[in-house]
Amino acid sequence: MRIAMVSEHASPLAVLGGVDAGGQNVHVAALAAALADLGHDVTVYTRRDDPDLPERVPMTPGVEVVHVPAGPATAVPKDDLLPWMPDLGAWVADDWATHGAPDVVHAHFWMSGLAAVQAAEVHGVPTVQTYHALGSVKRRHQGVKDTSPSGRVTAEATIGRRVDAVVATCSDEVRELARLGVPASRVRVVPCGVDVDHFRPVRGATGPFPRTRRHRLVCLGRLVERKGVDTVLHALPDLPDTELLVAGGPDAAALADDPEACRLAALARQLGVADRVHLLGRVGHDDVPALVSSADVVVATPWYEPFGIVPLEAAACGVPLVGSAVGGLLDSVVDGVTGLLVPPRDPESLATALRGLLADPARRHAFGAAARRRALTRYSWRGVAAQTELVYQSLTSPVAAAARVEEVAV
C-alpha cells in the first residue's frame, strides 16, 4: 500500500524538546517506520522550515520525508501556520499528479487535515485524521493563554465530518469528538506507541549523574507550563531526601534564556528545594532509557494531555508512574496496577501518593513489572501500526471504494 502522511509542523526528522517538537514528531516517525516494516511505502509531507533542506529525504527504508515549500522557509510557531495550509494542500496535490496518488492519506494535527482533505478531494484519495490535540480541550484548560487560531474548533469539527475515518488515541478523545458532532461510525481508537526495544529497563542506571538523595523522581517532556512540573515542585517540600530531575527544553547551556526553565528555577528557590532540583535541558534520545530507569518513580502531572508518550516510555522501562488523571493518562496508566493517578494541580494529593510509593519498594517493583508487560502487549509500535493498517484497509477495499464513489455521485 502507498501511504501518504501530512504533518505540517511536526517533522519526523526534527530534534525533540523544542516548544513545537515533541510527541507528534515521535508518533509520525515511529508509525511511518513501523508501517514500512509491514511492507508499505510511506511518504511524509511536512512544511519546509529551513532553506537548506532538500526537497526529499530518505528517513528509513520505505519512508521518505518531503519538505513542502509552504510559507517562509524558517521556523514559524505552529499556531501561525494556518494561512499557508492551502499552499501546502495544493503542492501535495500537484506532487501526487506527478508521482502518483497514494492509496490513503493520513493527516496528523488539524491544520494537516485541512491540507490533506484539499489534496485528497482532487484525487479521490480516502482520508484519515489524527488530531493529536483538540482545540476545544486546549481552550478549556488554557483560556486566554490559548494561541490557537479563532476558527480551530469549528475547523476540527468540519474535518471530522469530511474525512473517511478519525483515529482517536484514547477514550477521552472519543468523548470529546462526540461533543464536536463527529459521527461515531467514523471514529476508531488506536493508541500511540513506544519503541519497546529502545525503551527497556537499564539495570544500575544512574542517568546523567549519580543520585544525591535516597529517592529520585524524573519528569521529562517539553518545558511548557501546561506540563505541570510546578505541581511536582510544590509537592517536593513534603518529600524529604528526594531529588527531582527535569529533562526537556533546550540544551543545558541555553536554559538560562528559557522562560519556563527560569520560572521553575525561581519557584524551586522560593520553595527551598533548589538544591534537590536539577534542570537537565534536552536529553538525547539514546540517553533517555537510562535516565528513566534511574528513577524510583516517573512523574507526569500535566493540566491536560491529549495522549502523552512519557507514561509509555516509563512503562516500557519498567518504572512506575504517578500522573494526573487527565486525557490519555486515563488509558495509559492503570491506577493501582502500573502506577497511580491523582487530580491535576493538586500538590498535596501528589505528595501523598509519592510518599506512599517511595516508602514501598515492593509495590514499586510490582507496578514497574506490570507496566513493562502492558507496554509490550498493548503499545509496541508494530502492534499500533498493525491496528492502523486495519483502518487503512477498511477504507481501501473494493467495497469501501465503491461506496465512496457512490457518496460523491449523490
| pLDDT tens by residue, 340-395 | 999 999 999 999 999 999 999 999 999 999 999 999 999 999 999 999 999 999 99
pLDDT value, residue 336: 98
Residue 305: C-alpha distances to residues 16, 134, 300, 316 (Å) = 18, 10, 10, 19
pTM value is 0.85
Residues 6+ apart with CB under 8 A from 94: none
Give yes or no for residue 119 having a pLDDT over 80.
Answer: yes
Is residue 316 within 8 Å of 372, Cβ to Cβ? yes
Give yes or no for residue 253 having a pLDDT over 80.
Answer: yes
* Residues written for the chain: 410
- Beta-strand ranges (E) seen in 202-317 are 215-220, 242-247, 277-281, 297-300
Where residue 410 falls among pLDDT bands split at 50, 70, 90? very low
Three-state secondary structure call for residue 104: strand
Give yes or no for residue 17 having a pLDDT over 50.
Answer: no
Q: Which residue has the cell 518545558?
A: 223
Are 2-193+381-409 and 215-378 equal in CATH topology? yes
Residues 2-193+381-409, CATH architecture: 3-Layer(aba) Sandwich (3.40)
- What's the topology of domain 215-378? Rossmann fold (3.40.50)
If you average pLDDT over every residue of the chain, what do you get? 93
Domain boundaries along the sequence of the chain = 2-193+381-409, 215-378
pLDDT value, residue 280: 96
